[in-house]
Amino acid sequence: MEDRLWEAAQEEANQSGKAIEPAAEARLKEMISDGVDRMNTLGVANDPSQIQRAEKNIVRFVREMNNIRLGQGDLGVASYNAARDICPLWPFC
């Protein structure tokens, strides 16, 4: 599931013509991993509606990173940190 969510995040970034910088990529992947762990703990990791919800929310997070890029060309750590203001965003934060 982590791969599926990461692919959704990358696709959203690509659609906006932006790349995710390596440091922001590491943080996003950690956030995705934490979210998947949370889903497993709650027993909803195989629930299609919850998987779809998680996918929608990671796309929303990357879209928010893009909206508040803070003058950066690509999606970096500063935009990642600023986008966390939309939390709580199930299951990631």
User: What pLDDT, in 10s, does the model give residues 35-66?
Assistant: 999 999 999 999 999 999 999 999 999 999 99
pLDDT class of 73 with cuts at 50, 70, 90: confident
Across the chain, mean pLDDT equals: 95
Residues 6+ apart with CB under 8 A from 74: 18, 19, 20, 21
The overall pTM is greater than 0.75 = yes
Q: If DSSP codes are grouped into helix, strand and coil, which group holds residue 88?
A: coil
Question: Which CATH architecture is the domain 2-86 placed in?
Answer: Orthogonal Bundle (1.10)
The domain segmentation of the chain, as residue ranges, is 2-86
DSSP H helices in 16-76: 22-42, 48-67
User: In angstroms, what CA-CA distances link 4 with 8, 15, 27, 68, 80?
Assistant: 6, 16, 16, 24, 20
